[in-house]
Amino acid sequence: MYDQVGQNKRRTIVLMVVFVLFVAVVAGAFAFVFKLGPVGIVFALIFAGVSGFVGYWKSDSVALAMSRAKPADRQEYARLYNLVEGLCIASGLPMPRLYIVDDVAPNAFATGRNPKHAAVAVTTGLLEKMNRVELEGVLAHELSHIKNYDILVSTLAVTMVGIVALIADLAIRFLWWGGGRAFGDDDRNGGGPQAILALVGFVLLLFAPIIAQLMQFAVSRNREGLADVSGVEMTRYPPGLISALEKLRDDQTVVHSASRATAHLWIESPIAREKEEGKLSRLNRLFDTHPPLDERIAHLREL
Query: Annotated active-site positions, please?
Result: 142
Q: What CA–CA distance (Å, rounded) separates 299 from 303? A: 7
Quote the CA–CA distance of 213 and 80 in Å, as a whole number. Answer: 33
Q: Would you put residue 269 in left (φ > 0), alpha (ψ -120 to 50) or beta? A: beta
Query: Which has the closest alpha carbon to 63: 280, 284, 255?
Result: 255
Spatial strand order in the sheet of 108-114: 69-71, 97-101, 117-123, 108-114
